[in-house]
Structures are given as structure tokens and as C-alpha cells.
Amino acid sequence: MGAITRSIANNITTSGVFTSSAITNNSVTGITVLPNAEDGITFISSQTASNSASLSFTSGLTSTYKAYKFVFSSIHPRTDNVAFQFNMSTDAGSNYNVTKTTTYFVAYHAESDVEADIGYQSSLDLAQSTSYQNLISFLGNGADESGSGTLNFFNPSSTTYVKHFISRCDRYSAGDYSVDEFVAGYGNTTSAVNAIRFQMSSGNFDGTIYLYGIK
């Protein structure tokens, strides 16, 4: 009997089951740390709002990753017909006032099927403004109304380039529409962005926000 065959035989019970000494991190049952389901995506943290005025991520945005993703799940305002917004900070959250230039367009479809369209929303973009940027607009506060989506944020720790971001969200709006919202732009700063705050344009909200790093 060869050495490899003998080694295998010594690690199998009489009922044909591998013993614990045969299990390593190279075998399925011996894996102690599972990889992320989506290759290259690493979970960093999450926060849940419960009638909260805002959620601020003041850690996790570092030079470890060149891109980050925020995922919004069931953002539900306590006030009717308001917007879910964000802003950036370069001083670890002391101020959220980074100057931004952005674009904003939507595609929508009514539940009644009587109306559908797509178009640019000039009233919702920003031009060299420190104001909070809408990500989900005109959210209703009905029991089943909410919005969900993502915000991709690129190279926040750079001290050379502006800070680009792209967001895509869908909302069940105050007028019973499905609205697909596309927002993109940049924070016009070469300082490192190290904190981001999310809030409603008025009132409090519920929902969970997840932060991931992208390799």
C-alpha cells in the first residue's frame, strides 16, 4: 500500500466517514472562514434607523479600499413626501458640507398603468453646492411605502482627485408610482472624505444601511 493510500485509509472510519484529522481548510467541511458570496465585496458595518433623525458612518471609509458601497434597505420616512439625502465630511463628521456637482434623472411608472416616462430632473441636481444631495425623492410615509437602493463611492481617501459617486434607488412614491432614480456626481474636494451622513429632508425615518468595501 502506497503512503498516500495508507494516509487516506488511516483517516477513514470503518463506516466510511472521514475522521477530524482528515479535515483541513482545503476541504468543504473544514472551512473556518467562508468567503463573501459576491467576490471582492467585504462587509464593514451596518446601522439601523428606528424613528431616527440621521445615520452617520464615521468609521470604515479608509484607504483600505478604492471603492465602497452603501446599500439601503426599506428606507421609510415618518413624514410624508420627503427626500432621503446624504452629505460628506472631510473632518470625521464634525461638518457635512462638501461642495458637490451632480446629475439626477428618473424613470417612473404608475400603478394604474396610465403614465410612464423618463427624464432629467434639474430641480433635484446640485451645482457647486454644499447642500445635502437627494438620493430618493418624494417618499411617502404610508405603512407599505419605502425606498431601497445603493450608493457607490469611489476612492474617498484620495488627496489628489475629486470624490465620485453613483447612486441608483427605487421608491414606492407618495402617488403610488414605482420610480427608478439615478444620481451621480462628485464631491469637489481633494481632501480625504472620511464620514458620510444620511437623513431625510424633514423628519425622522426607519430602515437599515449597510457599508461594504470593494476590492
Residue 138's pLDDT band (cuts 50, 70, 90) = very high
CA dihedral 93, 195, 137, 212 (to 10 degrees): -150
22 conformational bin, left if phi > 0, alpha if psi -120 to 50, beta if neither:
alpha
CB neighbourhood size of 80 (10 A)? 14
pTM confidence score: 0.81
**How far apart are alpha carbons 89 and 204 in whole angstroms?**
21
β-bridge mates for residue 73, sequence order: 208
Q: If pLDDT is split at 50, 70 and 90, which confidence band does 176 have? A: confident
Task: Report pLDDT for 175.
Answer: 74
Rg of the chain over all Cα atoms, to the nearest angstrom: 23
Higher pLDDT, 16 or 186: 186
Distance of alpha carbon 56 from alpha carbon 164, whole angstroms: 19
pLDDT digits 0-9 by tens, 40-77: 899 999 999 999 999 999 999 999 999 999 999 999 99
Which position has the grid cell 466517514? Answer: 17
Residues of the chain with CATH 2.60.120: 35-214
Q: In this prediction, what percent of the chain has a pLDDT beyond 70?
A: 82
pLDDT digits 0-9 by tens, 80-117: 999 999 999 999 999 999 999 999 999 999 999 999 99
The third-level CATH classification (topology) of the domain covering 35-214 is: Jelly Rolls (2.60.120)
Closest residue by Cα to residue 107 from 121, 93, 88: 121
- Position 73 scores a pLDDT of 98
